[in-house]
Structure 1
Amino acid sequence: MSKYNNYKKYEDFDVEDLLADEFFVQWVKSPDENNSHFWEKWLSSNPNKRGIVTQAANFARAIHYKEKLEFGNDSYIEIYEAILNSDSEIQIASPKRTLWKSFFSLRNIAAAILLSFCSFVLFSVFNKDLLTPNSEIEWVTSVNPGGKKTIIGLSDGTKIHLNSNSEITYPEVFGDSIRTVFLKGEAFLEVEKGIRPFIVELANSKIEVLGTSFNVNQSIDNHVEIALLEGKVKVNDKIGNQVMLAPQEMLVMKNNGEFFKSSFDSLEVIGWKDNYLIFNNDDFKTVESKLRNWFGIDIEVKGTFKNSWKYTGKYYDESLENVLKGIELTSDIRFRIDGKKVEIYN
């Protein structure tokens, strides 16, 4: 295989160049952990090229190639090590292109006509994200209102606990490439191990895993907390920052771009999926927010609560009334329940 070149060479590729590139076509036709890792990283660094790559990938899926595209194990190892070990400069082997380029060069005029004719059709048919390799994949969106939690089983065996006031979109059946879901709100994921990476897309970041258990909580203002129970995850934000998490580590990503790691209490962070409602020295605003989210209620607050007001308590599968009575016993509050409306005063 020819010597390694900077992976930025792909920045100048057009659709025809990509179709003539063995490494690209193999990723589309026969995705695996190695080539998927490279192209995912390349796309995250070159988001402006996603449209061209999507179009080329759709054409590649529609074309029957007589040659079976294969890279030797040594080549894969070199590519993979280059991806993992480099920082801003990633080195890959320059794929062989002679046969493929000549094939397409002989048909330049036909290809141009074909591209022009099919672009509109393919844009309409293949309007899914590039990470959905099969145009026939049907997407499912599950939405939980306040007070509702659900458990969702994915086609690969992954189990998702979706919290209240949360939404997740996932394929009805995963394709042959990367497993991708889109999350808003909070979920605990038990990802089935496999060679295909599992991607959780958030508003301003994404989480990549192979098999692990972790909790993701993304607030409305895009404050994100990722707590890893077991396994290993890699988190990428939209500006290129990358963080690896080990078990019992939490990554906090503020909406101003700041982020840091910390330890976490498993029951406090993940207990919600087992019906534990935890308050840990919470101020009144936090307690109010947790009650709204947990029980799906409207709260009217009468009076004022000092910044020094704090509450700590643990409840397992308790009713709204019992939780409010517990808070009332140790705090300066009173309450009145009327169906889904609660009045809190002091």
Structure 2
Amino acid sequence: MSNYTDHKKYEDYEFEDFLSDEFFVQWVKSPSENTLHFWEKWLISNPQKREMVTEAASFVRSIQYKENFEFTDEAYIQVFENILKADLEVPSHNTIPSKMDTWYSFFSVRRAAAILLIGFSCWALYETQNFSDSEKASIEWITKVNEAGKKTVLHLNDGTVIHLNSNSKISYPKTFTEFSRVISMEGEAFFDVKKEGRPFIVEVKDAKVEVLGTSFNVNSIVKGKLEVALVSGKVKVNDKLGNQVMLAPMEMIVLEDNGKIHKQDFDVRSVTGWKDKYLVFTDDDFDTVVQKIETWYGVEINTTGKFNAQWAYTGQYYDETLENVLEGIAQTSKINYKIKGKEVEITH
């Protein structure tokens, strides 16, 4: 694989050049592993540009851009090789060029580079590849996995606190970059994000949740949908189809795999109570009740008998044992249960 970080395109950039560069804007507004990898290595190689890049990044965050572009590693290589080629092919003359000729050549190359970059960025929207493991190793990532029945609280180096639910996984850099805070997750987690200038971005399924400082819940446990519930602050959710939704406090968005989007209010304890040891059922059907109990206690439930499609259960338990929860359900729902180690039998 070509090492595109060797290219010199950005060394001659001034403040305004970074602002009009789609690749730079994409990194600042919606960073990915690809863009983080490139810019971190480039800044290490070009420390004299760090102050200018910091100022340009701050300016970009303060304004709105119409589109974000995703770049794959293959697209990077092709873009920068073309830019480098364009620089090398600027014609030389035996005569001393006039100021106008010099400016025209410089402007033409820069304009061609910009056209190449924008063109390839559009093409790159349809390609997805990842860096090799050796390249990813330049950024040290930490991964935490919770099995069923286990919950943990994580304290990140920026002051952010994350509650990770059962059957969930989260990955984040050991040290966040200077310009952004990006993590990826599966399952369910509650975030209390430390407010500061760098955006905090959660990559989950085919969506991105972007905030500065706020508290919110992300749930992708249920197959076929993703839920984002905002408790405080502001959140921006971007889905795989390019839809962008802003949430206000006490609003929740549900993204379905078929592209449907639902925005609604929510009850805080029902959605986020799990982090405070509350197991909450709100008019839940039988399958949902089973899923919640299995996830909460790390057990496998086997059922016999027919359960009416209209069957529903509402109840709330604080730090209760599995037996007490099942007994509570049995008293109101006419079910029988037996607990055998990590297995539960329910009959109706």
Provide the TM-score with structure 1 as the length reference. 0.72
Partner of 1:306, secondary structure, is coil
Q: For each residue in 1:12-67, what CA deviation from the matched residue of structure 2 results, as whole angstroms up to 9, or x when unmatched?
A: xx95434543459979xxxxxxx9765344778xxxxx96x677536523434656
Q: How does 1:181-192 map to 2 (within 5 A)?
A: 181-192=183-194
1:189-245, Cα deviation, whole Å (9 max, x unpaired): 000011111111112001111100000001363511000000001111122111111
State the partner residue of 1:61: 43
Seen in structure 2, the aligned counterparts of structure 1 residues 107 and 138 have a Cα distance that, compared at 3 Å, is farther
Q: Which of residues 222, 235, 242 in structure 2 aligns to 1:240?
A: 242
1:204 touches 1:222 (CA, 8 Å); kept in 2?
no
CA contact (8 A) 2:28 2:179 kept: no
Q: Do the aligned partners of 2:253 and 2:262 also contact (CA within 8 Å) in 1?
A: yes
Alpha-carbon contact 2:28-2:60 (below 8 Å) kept: no
One-letter amino acid of the counterpart of residue 157, structure 2: S
1:302 deviates by 1.0
The residue aligned with 2:228 is 226
Give the aligned partner of residue 17 of structure 1. 9
- TM-score computed with the length of structure 2 as normaliser: 0.72
Match of 2:146 among 140, 144, 147: 144
1:299-327 alpha-carbon deviations (Å, 9 max, x no partner)? 11111111011111111110000000000
Give the structure 2 partner of residue 70 of structure 1: 52
In structure 2, the CA distance between the partners of 1:226 and 1:71, relative to structure 1 (3 Å rule), is closer
The aligned residue for residue 160 of structure 1 is: 162
Q: In structure 2, what residue type is equivalent to 1:81?
A: I
Query: How many corresponding residue pairs?
Result: 286
The correspondence for 1:39, drawn from 27, 30, 44, is: 27
Name the structure 1 match of 2:101: none
Q: CA deviation at 1:81?
A: 3.1
- Taking a change above 3 Å as real, the CA distance of residues 338 and 180 of structure 1, as seen in their structure-2 partners, is same
1:38-117 equivalences under 5 Å are 39-41=27-29, 57=39, 60-64=42-46, 66=48, 70=52, 80-83=62-65, 86=66
State whether structure 2 residue 136 is matched by structure 1 residue 127: yes
Q: Structure 1 residue aligned with 2:176, among 174, 178, 182?
A: 174
Q: 1:81 is paired with a residue of what secondary structure?
A: coil
The structure-2 alpha-carbon separation of the partners of 1:77 and 1:201, relative to structure 1 and needing over 3 Å to count, comes to closer
- Which amino acid in 2 is paired with 1:60? W
Structure 1 vs Structure 2: percent identity of aligned residues? 44
Residue-by-residue CA offset, 1:140-165 (whole Å, 9 max, x unaligned)? 11101111111010011100000000
Q: 1:335 deviation in Å?
A: 0.2
CA separation of 1:57 and 1:219: change in aligned 2, threshold 3 A: same
| CA displacement 1:240-269 (0-9 Å, x = unmatched) | 111111100001101111112100000100
Q: What is aligned with 1:217?
A: 219
Range moving further from structure 2, 64-73 or 141-150: 64-73
Taking a change above 3 Å as real, the CA distance of residues 75 and 198 of structure 1, as seen in their structure-2 partners, is: closer
Q: Give the counterpart letter for 2:199 in structure 1.
A: P
Distance 2:305 2:57 in 1: 69
> Do the aligned partners of 2:217 and 2:230 also contact (CA within 8 Å) in 1?
yes
SS in 1 for 2:136: coil
CA separation in 1, counterparts of 2:49 and 2:40? 18
Q: CA deviation at 1:175?
A: 2.5
**Gap change, CA 1:234 and 1:36, over 3 Å in 2:** farther
Report which stretch shifted further, 240-249 or 14-23. 14-23
* 1:26 to 1:319, Cα distance in 2 relative to 1, 3 A: same
Secondary structure in 1 aligned to 2:143?
strand
Change (3 A) 1:244 1:125: same
C-alpha displacement of 1:170:
1.1
- 2: CA distance, partners of 1:107 / 1:174: 39
In the alignment, the residues of structure 2 paired with residue 79 and residue 199 of structure 1 have an alpha-carbon distance, to the nearest angstrom, of 13
* Alpha-carbon shift at residue 171 of structure 1 (Å): 1.6
1:291 to 277, 282, 293: 293
Cα distance change, pair 293–139 in 1 and its aligned pair in 2 (3 A): same
Q: CA deviation at 1:106?
A: 8.0
Query: What's the offset of the Cα at 1:70?
Result: 3.3
> Residue type matched to 2:13 in 1?
D
Structure 2 counterpart SS, 1:70: helix
Taking only aligned residues, the RMSD between alpha carbons, in angstroms, comes to 3.6
CA–CA separation in structure 1 for the residues paired with 2:191 and 2:136 = 27
The one-letter code matched in structure 2 to 1:252 is V
